[in-house]
Amino acid sequence: MADEKAERYIQRSSEIDAKAYAINYGAHREGMTKEEIAQYYSEWAYRGTYDHDLSPERYHGPEYAADVVSNHFIKNRESAKILDVAAGTGRLGEELFHRGFRNIDALDPAEGMLSVARKRGAYKDYFCEFMDGHALDIKNDTYDCVVVSGGMGEGHIPCRAVPEMIRIAKPGGLVCIVMREEYISYVEEYIDRLEPLFKQLEIEGKWQLISRTIVPKYSFDNNGVIFQYKAL
């Protein structure tokens, strides 16, 4: 399904868009280990082409996420403590920095991606780590906002990592996940699991849904879905 869809997109797109799509798809192939995925991203970043391939014309995740976070924090942007999960090359951090946020940390397992993010200078602390459900060396209730843009996908952040995001968010803090909508229905890890888990965590009183919004042209011509939850 994913292969066929990628093939269809590649066939009908301009050469440059098709190339970018294919490179991005290379990080989302079934059967890749998480280490292979991190290495793929690192090499992509070290080649210096990630930000061009996933430029704002082709990938709007960071802008969508920055809008959500900005709308949530009208005041106290300088002090609001934010964790950008799967921060990559730091486009979201840069967007947030431009909007007045000054207390942002970055987490990503791909050192090559973080090396580009470091040059942007938007973040305070860097965690070269997977968000995969293991307990991070971060205290409970640390962040006013935990935000993910583009970190969900085949082999990427698994369902079991969601409680860890809530654990490190302060009660009342924002947990925001921005992802490609179709992944919910074709990434094996998420099918009939991700949204039921979100609901289960709500039933357990771990968080509360603020909104679930579909947005157009999130990535290439694919819709995105933005989940906003209040950690409890």
Ligand X SMILES: C[S@@+](CC[C@H](N)C(=O)[O-])C[C@H]1O[C@@H](n2cnc3c(N)ncnc32)[C@H](O)[C@@H]1O
113 touches ligand X (CB under 6 A): yes
3-state secondary structure of 126: strand
- The minimum distance between CB 3 and ligand X, in angstroms, equals 19
Kindly tell me the burial class for residue 193, based on how many C-beta atoms sit within 10 Å of its own C-beta (0-12, 13-18, 19 or more).
middle
Sign of CA dihedral 51, 28, 190, 232: negative
Is residue 190 at the binding interface for ligand X, with CB under 6 A as the rule?
Answer: no
- Contact between 156 and ligand X by CB under 6 A: the answer reads yes
Closest CA to 160 of 34, 69, 59, 65: 34
CB neighbours (10 Å) of residue 139? Answer: 9
In whole angstroms, give the CA distance from residue 148 to residue 159: 13
Nearer residue to ligand X within complex by CB, 88 or 173: 88
At CA 87, angle to CA 226 and CA 150, rounded to 5? 35
Site for ligand X in 202-221 (CB under 6 A): none
151 sits near ligand X (criterion: CB under 6 A): yes
Size of the site for ligand X (CB under 6 A): 24
Question: Does residue 130 bind ligand X (CB under 6 A)?
Answer: yes
Residue nearest to ligand X (CB): 88
Residue 215 or 232: the one with the smaller Cβ distance to ligand X is 215
Binding of ligand X at residue 66 (CB under 6 A)? no
For residues 71-110, which are near ligand X according to CB under 6 A? 85-88, 91-92, 108-110
Question: Helices 111-120 & 34-46, crossing angle to 10 degrees?
Answer: 40
Q: Which is nearer to ligand X, 13 or 39 (CB)?
A: 39
- Give 85 or 104: the residue with its C-beta nearer to ligand X: 85
Spatial distance between the Cα atoms of 177 and 162, rounded to a whole number of angstroms: 10
Query: What residue ranges bind ligand X (CB under 6 A)?
Result: 34, 37-38, 41, 61-62, 85-88, 91-92, 108-110, 113, 130-132, 149-151, 156-157
